[in-house]
Amino acid sequence: MAPSLLARGLTALCLACLGQAAGAGVFLDGGRPTPAALQAAQVLADADAEGLEPQDYDAQPLMQAVTGAAQGPALDEAGAARLDAALTAALHRYLADLHAGRIDPRQIHAEFTALPARDFDPAAYLQAALATPHFADALRAAAPRVPLYASLRALLAHYRTLAGHAAWATPLPPLPGKRKLEPGQPWAGLAQLTQRLVALGDLPEGTQPTPTYDTVLQEGVKAFQQRHALAADGVVGKGTLAQLEVAPAQRARQITLAMEHLRWTPLQLAPRMIVVNVPEFVLRAYEVHGGATTVALSMKVIVGKSVKTHTPLFDEPMRFIEFSPYWNVPPSIAREETVPRLRRDSAYFTQQGFEFVNGSGQAVTDLTPDHLNAVLQGQMRLRQRPGPHNALGDIKFVFPNHSNIYLHHTPSTQLFARERRDFSHGCIRVEDPVALARFVLQDDPAWTPERIREAMGQGQSHTVRLPRPVPVVLAYSTTIVKNGRPYFFADIYGHDRLLDQTLRRNALARRQAR
């Protein structure tokens, strides 16, 4: 590249960064790029491997500039300073994005308090990386240090290799008969279906298509269904076909969004913590020993409805457990559901164990129109006494927050058998409250499972303060990796869609501003 062209290009890249970037002079020596400069340019060019966009860091022009300075005439002092400053500024942006994400999580309704960006200084990190013998590796190590991130990174590379696979060259043909492919049926798409399942790892390499939908292919479909939050019945219906039609490139984008979520979701807060992955409908309790993170507990959960009552995303420490809790009916539920129901069916008041609470905290057990009106006017509140019908079940896990969200048991345990479990008003119902209570109370060996069950069944409200609060994170990832296999979930709240739109809009604005 001619020196004059190089100078014009770098001025366009970083006119304002000359003299502002830390580490000036680091990447050029005598007008020639150092080995670190060559490594830095390559790291920026490989940003897509991290689910980032190389053009956000001017990767191509910087690579051309560094290569030109290495192979052509040495740069003069001003040209060397411009290249050094531009490369340093691009690395600062890259490190900040890789470590803490490209957006403010509040843009997609995530209210996390322990954000990685708050404790990360890209300039200081770059200086430390330059002092290491493996500079490029040190740069890439700014990524989130949780096992899932590394798994997603490898998964992204794999799905990108599938982008041009012949199995997705054309859509699958229409399903036969009643729009369902069932055992023993012929179908024009069997060969293509077999190809896709082999490519995705749901069938062994070398599996050959058969004239009818046989047991081997059914097992592959069941494996696929299990990984895509579908009922694993081996029947290819509308829902399964829709997931089979998702192209690898679309899955790759979904994986990059999961990686972005991980960058600002606080997942390393304490030696013990609880994480609920909302679209997966799963709670996991983690323990960290010697730097290694293990899953101590996993269970199904029920989360807020996708249409109206989303479970919010945030992190707060769990501080209390309430056994045999009262349920204070939220004003919105009282107004929209409970009061109308009580006006239609007065027996519901006694059956469900409701009572009114006046402004002085006294319980009132008489159901009258005046009391119902007082609830609507905010002068009284409704609550449900402890008992078998209590909406919170017999235990409540409290991590105080402004959304009044908590974990609790439920009398409607049959709902845990559903594949999709967004049924609540926002709070999170847990499948195995005894195991969860044992996890958070493990510092006190007196809290055995038997004692926990006894406290849950007392019928009298009793609160226990945890000696050490346990962080709770309500997270959102539609892609995870378990036992080396990818699992994909529905974007039930549209957070992935919003994140994708925000990232594209922000990237376009940055490029137009240059």
Q: Are residues 196 and 317 in the same domain?
A: no
Share of the chain above pLDDT 90, in %: 80
Tally the domains of the chain.
4
Q: For residue 9, what pLDDT is reported?
A: 38
Residues 20 and 103 in one domain: yes
Residue 114 banded pLDDT, cuts 50, 70, 90: confident
Query: Is 493 within the bounds of a domain?
Result: no
Domain ranges, residue 454 = 267-326+388-475
- Work out the average pLDDT over 20-35: 74
Most confident stretch, 176-180, 296-300, 383-387: 296-300
State residue 307's pLDDT score.
84
Long-range contacts of 172-177 (CB under 8 A, 24+ apart): 172/241, 172/244, 172/245, 175/236, 175/237, 175/241
> Same domain, yes or no, for 381 and 397?
no
Report yes or no: 173 and 189 within 8 Å, Cβ to Cβ. yes
**Lowest-pLDDT range, 64-68, 359-363, 433-437, 472-476?**
359-363
Nearest CA among 459, 463, 405 for reference residue 430: 405
Q: What is the pLDDT of residue 97?
A: 96
Residue at a domain's end among 368, 385, 402? 385
- For residue 179, the model assigns a pLDDT of 87
Q: Is residue 304 part of a domain?
A: yes
Are 420 and 288 found together in one domain? yes
Q: Quote the pLDDT of residue 8.
A: 36
If one compares 307 and 77, the residue with the highest pLDDT of the two is: 77
Q: For residue 119, what pLDDT is reported?
A: 84
Is residue 28 domain-shared with residue 91, that is, in the same domain?
yes
Same domain, yes or no, for 381 and 314? no
Same domain, 306 and 287: yes
Confidence at residue 3, expressed as pLDDT on a 0 to 100 scale? 34
Among 178-182, 225-229, 484-488, the range scoring the smallest mean pLDDT is 178-182
Structure tokens at 92: 């600062």
**Does the pLDDT of residue 187 top 90, yes or no?**
yes
Query: What is the distance between the alpha carbons of residues 372 and 380, in angstroms, rounded to a whole number?
Result: 8
Contact at 8 Å (CB) between 474 and 427? no
* Selection from 248, 250, 258 nearest residue 279 by Cα: 258
pLDDT in tens, 307-353: 889 999 999 999 999 999 998 998 989 999 999 999 999 999 999 99
Chain-centre distance for alpha carbon 329: 30
Tokens 């949780």 locate to 146
Among candidates 482, 504, 57, which has minimal Cα distance to 253?
504
Q: What is the pLDDT of residue 459?
A: 86
Residue 68 in any domain: the answer is yes
- Tell me the average pLDDT across 457-478: 94
Same-domain check for residues 81 and 136: yes
The confidence score (pLDDT) of residue 23 equals: 37
pLDDT at 324: 92
Q: What is the pLDDT of residue 26?
A: 86
Q: Is the pLDDT of residue 411 over 80?
A: yes
Asked whether the predicted pLDDT for residue 258 surpasses 50, the reply is: yes
345/413 same-domain check: no
> What is the rounded CA–CA span in Å between residue 507 and residue 366?
60
Question: Which CATH number does the domain housing residue 230 bear?
Answer: 1.10.101.10
Q: Average pLDDT, stretch 126-152?
A: 95
Q: Please give the pLDDT value at position 7.
A: 36
Rg, the chain, Cα only: 28
What 3-state class would DSSP assign to 504? helix
Spell out the residues 6+ positions from residue 104 whose beta carbon is closer than 8 angstroms to its own: none
Instruction: Return mean pLDDT, the chain.
Output: 91
Say yes or no to pLDDT of 17 above 80: no
Does pLDDT of 200 surpass 50? yes
Report the alpha-carbon distance of residue 335 to residue 255 in Å, rounded: 41
